[in-house]
Structure 1
Amino acid sequence: MAELLSPGAPSVQLPLPDLPFRELGLADLPALLDLGADRGWAREERKWQLLMQVGTVYGADAPDGGGLAAALALTRYGTRLAAIGMVLTAARYARRGLGRRAMRHALAAAEGAVVTLHATDNGRPLYEQLGFRTVATAPMRRGVLTPDTAVDTSRVRPARATDLGTIRELDLAVFGADRTALLTRLPAFCGQLLVAEGGGRLLGFAGTWQTVGSTVIGPVVADSTATAKALISVLAAATEGPLRLDVDSRHAELCAWLQEHGLREADWRQSVMVYGAEQAPGDLARRFVPVTVAL
């Protein structure tokens, strides 16, 4: 495979696993969307833009000159925690070592942090070979949430700019890492951003954002399943059309409630995986739904 040098210059033949990865920017967004479409992904422009704002998107240029051969996103939260997502290899280059090269590049860039990712069944064997272990599943749920009159939503209200400090404090305790870069972008990224209060303190926060064909619920951070239900209920009541969310299956009570009230498991199921530790840092009991599985 050829790496282009300059007009008229001879090419240097590189095996696919040796293709260099570079940091991508907004100018590369069309190529990223084309790469995703090549593998049947929706053209989620806003999600890629968010990933570029809060983390780093890496890509390898296709040696045939046809856009990108591979890409992924790495989001670092301080030195303790990182997330890898949106791992893509062009169909014409599949199963030729490029995905492994991309992952090794991202793990090196994570610089020893605990790394999380959500893996499809196709990707999981590679991640296991690299040292990731599965800790849970996160099936996608879709549907229209039917109201539950037993849920108390009286403590839920829209988030205000003055809430950012307490949201950051809660998030730091829940994730064990500083995610300020992400949190400060949620008001602009989310169509709705809510908080729940009680006893003079912040109990949780949650939001929705638009993707192709549906509204995504995420994040959902809450002190209890009851608070998570309240936040989700208010978000759903103000949303028209189908909802989607990817809830960690370890929250069995919430999963059962969602199933009962119309948000049923879709065919898309992912494994929650961790690299560098038995579990991700922070408090799983209050981590219900991510902003996106890429984060």
Structure 2
Amino acid sequence: MPLSHPPLEHLPIRRLTADDLQACADLSENRGWQREEHKWGLLLTAGVGYGIDDPSGAGLVTACVVMSYGPGLGAIGMVLVAERYARQGVGRRLMRYVLAEAGNTPLSLYATSNGQPLYEQLGFTETGRSEMLLGRFTLTEPAPDRGVRPATAEDVQHVLRLDREIFGVDRTHLITRLPAFADHLRVAEQDGKITGFAALWPNMDTHVIGPLIAHDPATAQALVASLAEASDRPLRTDVDTRHTPLLTWLKANGLEQIATTSIMIRSLPDLPGDWTRRFAPLTVAAG
């Protein structure tokens, strides 16, 4: 006789660890995403993963990651449900569990058009939009000179202060991982003061630019151009649609929009910090 398994609503939800990296990558692949093992490795060590195991032993039924930035904010990302369990309520159950675990902590996420209705039902509201761009960077339109250089160990504390000022909450545990996670980390400097920073990290056959933090669009462009010069891969980044000058410049230099997402938040009217200087996230999965 075939083995019987408990119904989906009774399958236990557990915390994921770095040992679950391959299972998470398998789940991504199952849903037609790239495996993104490098990114999963960061998320599972800097954040908290949640998942449900398939009782048949066939990997994960569903998974997501929450990046905590203290009581002021958390970010939900990589919400995935195995295709064989799609549209059976398991994703909603996992989200409700994560919301209960978060308590009163505000939560943000980037939602696709397919996921947005569920998140709205769970109390999230749209606060903005983001464009995902991909392409070979051409530098057809040059960037302004803003004194961009490779970051050094002496820059770390200055970068952390600038990031907290602009992002609005402390994400030291994430930013201090950038030197090991990224292939290149650059800062912009003017009159001896750090005015922006950005990282270039590998993701499958592309390089991703993020985070991108800068005092103005010209500094953001200079950081992107410097990082693009160091890459031999197509570039990918996610930019808030309100940053029209940067988006126009990126598209003039070979990048094209491949997707759009809704920036959503729960329990706050808007994201903390200063969006005018926050151009791109490290990854949408980390907010």
Change (3 A) 1:249 1:149: closer
Deviations 1:180-211 (A, max 9, x none): 00011000001000000113321010011111
Deviation at 1:154, TM superposition (A): 4.4
Indicate if the aligned counterparts of 2:141 and 2:252 stay in contact, CA closer than 8 A.
no
- Equivalent AA in structure 2 for residue 93 of structure 1: Y
- One of 194, 197, 213 as aligned partner of 1:205: 197
Q: Give the secondary structure class of the aligned counterpart of 1:135.
A: strand
How many residues in Structure 1 have an aligned counterpart in Structure 2? Answer: 285
Match of 1:90 in 2: 82
Cα distance in 1 for residues equivalent to 2:112 and 2:214? 27
Indicate if the aligned counterparts of 1:18 and 1:101 stay in contact, CA closer than 8 A.
no
- Equivalent AA in structure 1 for residue 278 of structure 2: R
Establish whether residue 63 from structure 1 lines up as the match of residue 72 from structure 2.
Answer: no
Q: Give the secondary structure class of the aligned counterpart of 1:64.
A: coil
Structure 1: tracts of 5 or more residues without a match: 3-9
Match of 1:284 in 2: 275
Indicate if the aligned counterparts of 2:146 and 2:219 stay in contact, CA closer than 8 A.
no
- Equivalent AA in structure 1 for residue 265 of structure 2: V
Structure 2: tracts of 5 or more residues without a match: none
- TM-score w.r.t. the length of structure 2 is 0.95
More displaced stretch, 168-177 vs 150-159: 150-159
Indicate if the aligned counterparts of 2:146 and 2:189 stay in contact, CA closer than 8 A.
no
Say what the alpha-carbon RMSD is for the aligned residues: 1.6
Indicate if the aligned counterparts of 1:210 and 1:216 stay in contact, CA closer than 8 A.
yes
Identity score, percent = 48
Match of 1:176 in 2: 168
Deviations 1:84-103 (A, max 9, x none): 00000111111111111111
- TM-score w.r.t. the length of structure 1 is 0.92
Match of 1:73 in 2: 65
- One of 115, 120, 126 as aligned partner of 2:118: 126
Match of 2:16 in 1: 24
Cα distance in 2 for residues equivalent to 1:148 and 1:164? 32
Establish whether residue 45 from structure 1 lines up as the match of residue 41 from structure 2.
Answer: no
Q: Give the secondary structure class of the aligned counterpart of 1:269.
A: strand
Indicate if the aligned counterparts of 1:193 and 1:206 stay in contact, CA closer than 8 A.
yes
Indicate if the aligned counterparts of 1:153 and 1:234 stay in contact, CA closer than 8 A.
no
Change (3 A) 1:248 1:17: farther
- Equivalent AA in structure 2 for residue 172 of structure 1: R
Indicate if the aligned counterparts of 2:131 and 2:239 stay in contact, CA closer than 8 A.
yes
Deviation at 1:53, TM superposition (A): 1.5
More displaced stretch, 59-68 vs 183-192: 59-68
Indicate if the aligned counterparts of 1:153 and 1:233 stay in contact, CA closer than 8 A.
no
Match of 1:152 in 2: 144
Cα distance in 1 for residues equivalent to 2:22 and 2:42? 15
Deviations 1:96-125 (A, max 9, x none): 111111111222222322211111111111
Cα distance in 2 for residues equivalent to 1:235 and 1:144? 13
Establish whether residue 222 from structure 1 lines up as the match of residue 214 from structure 2.
Answer: yes
- Equivalence map 1:225-244=2 (5 Å): 225-244=217-236
Match of 1:294 in 2: 285
Q: Give the secondary structure class of the aligned counterpart of 1:128.
A: helix
